[in-house]
Structure 1
């Protein structure tokens, strides 16, 4: 009963904390964004705009001017949106009468337009023309700002006619505003302040998690850091911050950046969810699907470098729809399979889905939903980032609690382990005494080579296997054999053969750097090497050094210069088994036999797993 009450209390606390953090975040975001929405434009032109679609991309300005007014279409709503529309759209409107004592600016509020042409006409004649679009490097534009702003010329007698031609590979939104110049620059500064605050917040969150990764080594923190950085770059591209401050001469990156960074965001978000919830331990199938989805987005990010944005953004939106649906299913499945914090994960992806639906409805003017809110991408990404941070915090806290519980169990078991260690120590001391008695009776050195002999190896091997089992350290054993040694004996005699064995023993002995490493003559031309606390890479590297040293040396005896090679087999394991302690030697022998079969003069490594 107490356990249930504790469990229920934790669930209530997590839910309360999640809602409190989200409510606080929404309140702060609302207050901050309100700063940049106090200054409003003098006029919005959506209610007076006529348009015509150039479906064949064949119209020029002269063609458009010759079209009768009756042939132009009128906007059916105040939301200047044509959805995913890839052919040029021409707009025509008359500017309101403006006070000539002030300077005025025209703003087209969509910095992602590929092509944008602006004509100001007075009395049917062209007064001014501006070409813009993210295909034009920022450094060579008339105004070195990511936003599309144009000065409005002064004329007293009659209103100025505005002609706009716009084309883009994504969603075609064309909010057009008239600003009094000082008011616009105040708004622009406040807008940059808001965007900068949120991007700075994301960078701070990301860097703090990178430091957590360095401290803890947990890949969840690394994936979260990478996700936040990718989201930050995506938003920097959407709001023109990257183009204005970081890559003003690289229009290519501005044109492809959203697809590149957005795909990377989902790639790292998928890896973050996989590592945080340890999906591979819960379901191999779902883990493979999640991992496959992640690498699909990574591939799409790479492809986005070369493929036009008009194609990659459609592919991304389709993939994202499927991935969000899968993430909602995965989160729900984890929730009902022992991962209660997954409900927050479901909440995060539900917010993404809701934002996607509202964006799509706004892009196509469905149900009166507007797409004109400047900060909606910023809002949803900041909230999702905060929700992911909560998931990471809750899961890290849970794992720390599990670790603390494990430590408590270990402390309870400490007295037993002390007794066990004491018994093992007594056994080790008794074995040491037996070894010392044995050394008194028989020399442990090989008479021919001066290195340790087979008897010493047998004792040493057993001791190291038991130590590996006791301390759970890695032990490597190598069996080494001189290649074609019989032919040396047959061609040059046994004295020369003995000299070759001595030379090989000296070469191996010189390559051993640690006092704990031992080489023994196992028998005939065969040697054994014991390498305590040595993993696969260390053992293989050492044996390769020995093999090369012997191959590159020459035995000069009785006028003969003899070159030799050796074959070796290595076995590495953490000793887990009881009873038969010769498994490691048997595996090393098999590896040696394999190296002989594959042509000699090589080292073969086998790893002995717990199941072997």
Structure 2
């Protein structure tokens, strides 16, 4: 037996574009086992009347039946469809009853295969074909674990196509913006290798995947068979991924580990643990429980993002202004969506898409926040680089000055070492080792240039007696004075003189005539004889014996012979009574 109508019968032929059926509907809750016959047998008192234009029954795991009556008083100019404009009910059954006769039964819902739907559409869309002039009872059964949202309407085929075109335009713009931001930030990530951009890419991808599922396109195009992959599971999975990646991104963006208080770190990582737990819970938790929990976690997470952004703003972190604004706007849209979902406010089409609208605004603002942070970091890097350059320049100048000082000191030390290595420490004349090198060089040059060479071997007479009588200090003073007298008598360079050993000295005169060499020798002898060496109260004179050897070198092997000749002549001078020059020509 059919139920009595509660409102005027709707003439579907009078539908120009669309007609909201909610005001004409009555509804009743039932158990899943109740059939159409059970519902038809209900009395009028078992039904409730909906007086709102947009009805949202909130979360309910009950089965709700809806009933209204329609008629077609004249031929239709265009096909008429009944649409339940929400894509995520588990089971939908539409019955068209003409008296006791069933003239139409259509199935839908995402717990059935997508192919079972009467029209290939992401929401439930069924053609309404009834006989002319006959009243037809419309029974609509909806069972779902999610929100019981029932935007039920009659609309023409043209209007249905128009609505879907507008939605596809919106969806195209939405995913176009997401893709552009994904590509842009992926390029930045590959350039900078900053893991913050990687987490942001993960967050954007998760948001896009979630919205693709919530719009109903996932079930329409990808996972069409719930026995293989459930649409409810995909909603849970993408929601868990979205919230987890969002928290990871926020933690990385605000540098939670380094910059925040211990309480902030505890709250941030606790929220991350909750999101990760929800992600794993999507594999075994019931859909209705998961949606309730994930909405609360999401609301808390966005609130934390807003708190962190405001706190960073107050701390002077410029990028936090856009960061806080992004999360504030997203929080407002999530609040709108949740109020719509829980039937606190009337359900609207815009409310169903509130998260999508809020997410694209939030992601755009976060991209601007990223750009702002990049500019700040660039300015900081430039400032730091300039500071480092100035410090480096100052260090280089200081280092250059020190290097010059050290180089100068090293050169002085080298010159001193060279002087010490070639000079007799007492007299300041060449030492024996250096004399041997210089003498051989002069001998070779004399051979090459065909020049003469004279050698004067000089010995201080009775030097041992001076040492014994006046002491070694006075003896050293005599040797120092001897060196001074020898230097004064020479034309240096090219003449060279050296302390040859003990009280013995040697002089080499290159490119001189014999008479000139003899004159130098006699001058030296007279200079010594006329010199009194004084040291305090001690004074003494000293004389020298000189052996003069002269030659025109022709053979390098004879250079030692010249020295030996000079030494022999010196010996003769000593034997002859000292204080004289013995020479040969």
CA distance in 1, matches of 2:71, 2:369: 52
Where in structure 2 are the equivalents of 1:367-516 lying within 5 Å? 370=348, 373-419=351-397
1:233 aligns with 2:209: yes
Where in structure 2 are the equivalents of 1:167-316 lying within 5 Å? 167-249=143-225, 252-285=229-262, 286-316=264-294
CA offsets, 1:398-431, max 9 Å, x none? 1111011111111112223335666689999x99
Which segments of 5 or more consecutive residues in structure 1 lack a partner in the other structure? 1-38, 432-612
Aligned to 1:165, the other structure's residue is in SS state strand
Where in structure 2 are the equivalents of 1:53-64 lying within 5 Å? 53-54=29-30, 56-64=31-39
State the match for 2:320 in structure 1.
342
The partner residue of 1:323 within 301, 312, 320 is 301
The partner residue of 1:117 within 85, 90, 93 is 93
CA RMSD of aligned residues (A): 2.7
Kindly indicate whether the alpha-carbon contact (under 8 Å) linking 2:206 and 2:241 is maintained by their aligned counterparts in 1: yes
State the match for 1:593 in structure 2.
none
CA distance in 1, matches of 2:277, 2:342: 29
CA distance in 2, matches of 1:373, 1:318: 18
Where in structure 2 are the equivalents of 1:528-547 lying within 5 Å? none
How far 1:384 moved relative to its partner? 1.1
1:163 aligns with 2:152: no
State the match for 1:70 in structure 2.
45
State the match for 1:535 in structure 2.
none
CA offsets, 1:246-292, max 9 Å, x none? 33345634212222212222222222222222222222521342133
CA offsets, 1:433-461, max 9 Å, x none? xxxxxxxxxxxxxxxxxxxxxxxxxxxxx
CA offsets, 1:548-602, max 9 Å, x none? xxxxxxxxxxxxxxxxxxxxxxxxxxxxxxxxxxxxxxxxxxxxxxxxxxxxxxx
Which segments of 5 or more consecutive residues in structure 2 lack a partner in the other structure? 1-14, 411-585
State the match for 1:446 in structure 2.
none
CA distance in 2, matches of 1:420, 1:306: 69
CA distance in 1, matches of 2:345, 2:266: 39
1:128 aligns with 2:112: no
Comparing 192-201 with 364-373, which one deviates more in the overlay?
A: 364-373
- TM-score (norm. length: structure 2): 0.62
- TM-score (norm. length: structure 1): 0.59
Kindly indicate whether the alpha-carbon contact (under 8 Å) linking 1:120 and 1:127 is maintained by their aligned counterparts in 2: yes
State the match for 1:82 in structure 2.
57
Aligned to 1:169, the other structure's residue is in SS state coil
CA distance in 2, matches of 1:364, 1:249: 29
Comparing 322-331 with 80-89, which one deviates more in the overlay?
A: 322-331
State the match for 2:68 in structure 1.
93
1:314–1:375 distance in 2 versus 1, CA, 3 Å: closer
Kindly indicate whether the alpha-carbon contact (under 8 Å) linking 2:71 and 2:132 is maintained by their aligned counterparts in 1: no
Kindly indicate whether the alpha-carbon contact (under 8 Å) linking 2:71 and 2:134 is maintained by their aligned counterparts in 1: no
Kindly indicate whether the alpha-carbon contact (under 8 Å) linking 1:79 and 1:372 is maintained by their aligned counterparts in 2: no
CA distance in 1, matches of 2:178, 2:335: 24
1:250–1:165 distance in 2 versus 1, CA, 3 Å: closer
State the match for 2:124 in structure 1.
148
How far 1:44 moved relative to its partner? 1.1
Aligned to 1:333, the other structure's residue is in SS state helix
State the match for 2:582 in structure 1.
none
How far 1:372 moved relative to its partner? 5.9
1:253–1:344 distance in 2 versus 1, CA, 3 Å: farther
How far 1:140 moved relative to its partner? 4.7
CA distance in 2, matches of 1:264, 1:338: 31
